[in-house]
Amino acid sequence: MNALDPSFGALVTLGNMLRSFCEDGGAGHPRQWSEEHRQLDALLDRVYLENAWFTRESCLYAFSYWGEMLRKESLEDWLAPYPGPKETPLTVALVLAGNIPLVGFHDVLCVLLTGNRALVKCASNDRLLLPFFCEFLFGFEPGLRGRVNFTDGKLHGFDAVVATGSNNTGRYFEYYFSRKPHIIRKNRNGAAVLTGRETEEELSGLAGDVFRYFGLGCRSVSKLFVPQGYDFTPLFQAFYPYKYLLEHPKYANNYDYNKAVYLMQGGEMRDNGFLLLKEDPSMASPIGTLFYETYASNPALKARLATLGPQLQCVVSSTGADHNTAFGKSQWPELREYADGMDTVEFLLKTSPLQTGEAP
């Protein structure tokens, strides 16, 4: 796909601004800030007041990520395998999650760069960031203003849908949007495979995969697979720099609550004072907790991971297996790493208004 859509240049400009803010404004030099930097700084305060999980640290990490992804070369490399934008645009309804800052921005990119229009329904706990970013885009390229619209009410007048939610809301989405071309995403989590031979640097990277965004991302590592007899001491040492998360009231409350529940249940767990490590077959661990399983052999591990396929968003390891993610990179996916493995750009390019029928 050639960079023909007018959104391309606006997105590159936005990337430049985000990198500049993270390098200058994010470092705390207010006298040097541009007006755009001042607006972003004020936005961070507003976002935290509305959603205490969206700390300045978390938002700046998201800003830094998007600043890098919106480089001209990164966008061109991502879009190169695809044909050009659509001549007959669709109106694509986007029902977004709100678990981490700007989690739905990739979907907006996909809609704009394929020449389509976005009708966006933000999650109730993430109503500020994306509209604010889009206002920047409209300022850089006024022609985009009519191509991204936000709504708090019932969706109508759309041709296709990309919706993200829990397993329960996913079933509702599948029923409600059954007459429209759609991508429906449900619960997924990240896992990590350890061998016991990891370096300090790799374990430090894993700590970021576990604790970044308080473990709320679908790519956050919520489950470990460790060999039988694994020594957890080096892992806990790598986790120690994140002890400061106990200063966050919501994280501390979740940690204390889960600890009390597990103590009453009488189950075994490892506790380093700010994270509970518990052997459990489940994939999704609660905040302040990390589940693990042991494996006896590589074939047994491979078979176990195969059974979890639909629940896995990514697998962090240093084993070199296909599609595995490097330690420390779970929250730094390439633009072509689509959520749930569903190619959103291909879906949007292949969907035609003639396929869409009536609105539900």
Instruction: Give the pLDDT confidence score for residue 32 in this predicted structure.
Output: 60
61-74 core/surface letters (b: 16 or more CB in 10 A; e: else): bbbbbbbebbeeee
Tell me the average pLDDT across 6-10: 91
Tell me the average pLDDT across 81-99: 91
Q: Report the distance separating Cα 256 and Cα 276, nearest Å.
A: 10
Work out the pLDDT band at 30, boundaries 50, 70, 90. low
The mean of the pLDDT values for the chain is 92
How confident is the model over 220-235, as pLDDT tens digits?
A: 999 999 999 999 999 9
Contact 109, 147 (CB under 8 A): no
Instruction: Give the pLDDT confidence score for residue 318 in this predicted structure.
Output: 87
How confident is the model over 179-218, as pLDDT tens digits?
A: 999 999 999 999 999 999 999 999 999 999 999 999 999 9
Chain-centroid distance of CA 139 in Å reads 26
Instruction: Tell me: pLDDT of 33 over 80.
Output: no
Q: At a CB cut-off of 8 Å and minimum separation 6, what does 34 contact?
A: 20
Q: Report the distance separating Cα 104 and Cα 136, nearest Å.
A: 16
User: In terms of pTM, does the model score above 0.85?
Assistant: yes
Tell me the Ramachandran region of residue 160: left when phi exceeds 0, alpha when psi lies from -120 to 50, beta otherwise: beta
CB-CB neighbours of 273 under 10 Å: 10
Rounded to 5°, angle at Cα 180 from 178 and 184: 65
Tell me the Ramachandran region of residue 339: left when phi exceeds 0, alpha when psi lies from -120 to 50, beta otherwise: beta
Residue 193 β-bridge partners: 225
Residue 221 β-bridge partners: 190
Contact 325, 202 (CB under 8 A): no
The closest of 355, 353, 338 to 81, measured between CA atoms, is: 338
Instruction: Tell me: pLDDT of 4 over 70.
Output: no
Q: Report the distance separating Cα 285 and Cα 277, nearest Å.
A: 10
The closest of 140, 155, 121 to 36, measured between CA atoms, is: 140
How confident is the model over 234-268, as pLDDT tens digits?
A: 999 999 999 999 999 999 999 999 999 999 998 88
Instruction: Give the pLDDT confidence score for residue 359 in this predicted structure.
Output: 43
Instruction: Tell me: pLDDT of 340 over 70.
Output: yes
Parallel, antiparallel or unpaired: strands 270-271 and 276-279: antiparallel
Instruction: Tell me: pLDDT of 143 over 50.
Output: yes
> What domains appear along the chain, each with residue ranges and CATH number?
7-158 (no CATH), 189-316 (3.40.309.10)
Instruction: Give the pLDDT confidence score for residue 320 in this predicted structure.
Output: 60
Percent of the chain with pLDDT over 90: 83
How confident is the model over 55-65, as pLDDT tens digits?
A: 999 999 999 99
